[in-house]
Amino acid sequence: MAQDHKEYISNIYDEEEVVKKYYNKTVLDILELWSSCASATVDLMIPLVEQYWENQSEFEQLAKKISNTCSACVKFTAMTVNLTEHPIPENCGSDVKEKATQEMNNTADTLSRLIQAVIKTSLKVSEDSLLDMAMWLLFSIHHVAQNVLQPKDKPTTDKEEEGTKETEKEKKDPEPVKESTDVTASLNNLLTQLDALQMELSNQYVIEKNEQNTEGGETDDSCKNDQQAINKLANVYTGVVDKICENGKVTVCIDDPNGSDATIYYKPDVYIEVANCSLGSCPMRDRDTWLDEIPLTSDQVLVSDVYVVRNGPLRTSAEVEIDFTYVPLSSTKNKTIKVIAKQDGEWKEVETVNEESDESSAHLSFKTKCLEAFTAYVEILSETCEVTPEETTFTSEVNPDVKVIFSPGLVAETKQIKIKVIPYDAREVANLKEQCPDSVRGIMAVSDAVEIRMDGECDDTKNISVQVSMDDEEDQDSQLVVIRFKEGKVQVLDKSQCRLKKDRNLFLVETKGVWGIAVARIRKIFLNMRDTVKKEFQLIFGLVQLCNICTFIDDSQRNKEEGSFFVWIECIDKNMIRDDVENKEKAGLIEVKQSRSKDITLRQKQTLILKVDGQVKLRLADPPDAFKITYLIGADNHVNIPMEVHRDQEKIPYAAFAFYEEDCAHPFHSVNIPVRDLSELPTDEITAKTFNKNNESNNLREQMKQKEEAARKMLSHDSIMNLSRVLSERDGRMLGVQLGVSESWTANAKDECDGDILRTNFRVLCEWRGKAARAAMVDFLISSLKTVGRIDLANVVSEVYKNGRGLSKLDFD
């Protein structure tokens, strides 16, 4: 017992000693560090302002680092020296206030020098680093004045308040405090400079103020004592900070350390309240949960990532500004971009949202005092139609050319049906073709898409008729088709599979059941490549996005000796892939050679499953069976996996990554990296290998490559020249029509070839083939030869194609 008491007394003594050391030594050192850092950074900044600011871009990073150093010291001082929150104990004598007075005078003189240099060189409001630095220094002086020299009373509990009242009764009336002027001179000088700075920010000049003075001379409005000076500084501080913020965002902000484009902009007053918070994309493992929680309707589609407050929720006494990027869409009258935020546990629409965009990015911003998470969405408005058991006709208000006629008996009772007109945007399609040249080849023109949604059952044997409009130019090398879609399914129907009537630019489609409808004109050769037409339709109307899966190794975190590394796997939008890969390479993320997937289409919120196998293990405390990537257009769609080489004779001899669609047993993409590459080679030489688990000679991907290579050989100029030799004039003309080459074009070609049959046939086949040969075209050629009665030639082409080569003269002997 005696020993415990001694330890207790020792602990109390140690604690008292620590407190005394803090107030008598540590706080004094921090205040001196604050003043010295302010002086040093200003001494570095002033030459930049006075001598080198014409080359602002060259010194931009240096100025930013100087400003950040200054602000970091200010933040440290504000967090650690606050006598309002942590008053000096009565039994602890301290020189804190004397030291604070000395260092505040020094810092006030330092800030005055900075402002003089800034005004002398005619400040440009775009020089954010200068404004940041001035604002943080001003904040620190204001903080020390309010919370060190004249600390406010700390809020008390009811019990503390009662005890205070009893103590006050026992105390005698305090002696009157003498007026002090220890900081008056330096603050008066600073106040004069701040007044000039405000006028400069307002595009005015100090001379304007002089003109407002009386004829007898300048009015002396300087403060007479410390109390007046500190009170005036508090008022001026608010005005200066507001004026700086009016001139645009400065870099007083909290960025996401992981690199997502979301930022908190704030005034220094609330730094202590936001210091522990940061914004960022929600973790990929939680994305499904957040998406299920956000209350969106079927008309609302996300156009940004889901951002969450880390170490939140965010709660501040004054408003902060949230800035983040989104995916810009073409401005049409039925699209509006909105922000929905989670505040106090409830999702609410943000009332005021500002939008800014340039060539490189598009941003949204809003202000708030409370935040847990947020995202942005676009709303494409649906129209409602009440369908009865009788015939019902609907005419769209968005596009009066769109009409829908519901046949009698389609529904057994009156139902509400939602109809959405998704406009065809020629500008977006042109951009898509420019960024991804092979993305749209078959569709030449298409109408608006009419989406029809109905809850409950209907009679699928009954018809609906949908009228749409389209700018259409008839072409014998093309054909009209009907594209119908619902719930992710897309079908392409030719004129033999549905009823389609045309009246100038109006098209009336009759089909059974409730489907979304569009009319398109496609090139004839794509009638046998309808999967391509389906994909192009979904791309044009934004139902899917063209992507590639890319695999990277983080070179900066790779340890060859230990065999440890990070694998970064990401679904990247194809139109952004070149810039994205280049930027990642600069950051040390090196793409594994031969690992990129073929072009794939992904729907919004589609989930991919990633499974890891082979000679590696995860460096995670609780490794999952599989990773998930839930895709969002334009968002951060990656997983970063810590791994190490772990040899196991029971497993395949690679580090294997396989990608599956949900509820699918077979992977659609796989990456297999040799362990030797991971253990020995430089990161930029690591190469994925083709590997088949069942030891077959080729996997599906390799077979497709071989098939495409065989198609290029079959449809080479030499090969089709040999086919042209064995075609008669009639064969060539009929085959051309079947392949989509009009008889009129063939006739013109014959005239230009002076009636030479061989040359004419060759030109017809070249016209059909175009610039690029594909495997599907060989199948189409074989079926077309059979259709025109040349089954013998079709068999020759088929046999030679299987052998992976082109046609020769000997094949027809």
| Residue 676, SS3 per DSSP | helix
For residue 313, whether the previous peptide bond is cis, meaning omega lies within 30 degrees of 0, is: yes
Cα distance between residue 636 and residue 307, in whole Å: 11
Q: How far apart are CA 271 and CA 285, in angstroms?
A: 31
Token pair in block for residue 653: 């001899």
More confident residue, 621 or 600: 600
Report in angstroms the alpha-carbon separations of 5 from 9, 10, 15, 310, 472. Answer: 6, 8, 15, 44, 97
- Helix, strand, coil percentages for the chain (3-state, nearest 5): 40, 25, 35
pLDDT at 171: 42
Cβ contact 741:734 at 8 Å = no
- Whole-Å CA distances, 458 to 54, 406, 445, 484, 552: 72, 11, 32, 17, 50
**The pair of three-digit structure tokens given for residue 320, joined into one six-digit string:** 């902060």
- For residue 24, give the DSSP letter: I
Please determine, for residue 58, whether its predicted confidence score (pLDDT) is greater than 80.
no
Percent of residues, the chain, with pLDDT higher than 70? 86
Comparing 125 with 528, the larger pLDDT belongs to 528
pLDDT of 134 > 50? The answer is yes
Residue 46: is it exposed, middle or buried by C-beta count within 10 angstroms (0-12/13-18/19+)? middle
Determine the residue type at 420.
K
**Alpha-carbon distances of 133 from 533, 705, 736, rounded to whole Å:** 58, 59, 74
Rounded (5°) CA angle 574-575-579 = 95
- 212 pLDDT exceeds 60? no
Q: What is the rounded CA–CA span in Å between residue 243 and residue 195? A: 11
181-190, 425-434, 581-590: range with highest mean pLDDT: 581-590
372 C-beta neighbours (distance < 10 Å), count: 17
Rounded Cα–Cα distance for residues 518 and 467 (Å): 9
CA distance 391 to 619: 64
813 pLDDT above the threshold of 80: no
The phi and psi torsions of 803 (rounded to 5 degrees) equal -80, 0
Q: What confidence score (pLDDT) does residue 342 get?
A: 95
**Residue 744 or 173, more confident:** 744
**pLDDT one-digit tens code per residue, 738-751:** 888 888 888 888 88
Tokens 């010291």 appear where? 73
Burial class (CB in 10 A: 0-12, 13-18, 19+), 438: exposed
Task: For residues 58 and 38, give the distance between their C-alpha atoms in angstroms, rounded to a whole number.
Answer: 23
**Per-residue pLDDT averaged across 541-568, rounded?**
91
Q: pTM score, two decimals? A: 0.72
Mean pLDDT of 686-694: 66
Question: 190 with 111: CB under 8 angstroms?
Answer: yes
**Residue 130 scores a pLDDT above 80:** no
Residue 2 has pLDDT above 80, yes or no: no
Q: What is the mean pLDDT of the chain?
A: 83
pLDDT score at 9: 41
| pLDDT, tens digit (0-9, with 9 covering 90-100), for 334-344 | 467 899 999 99
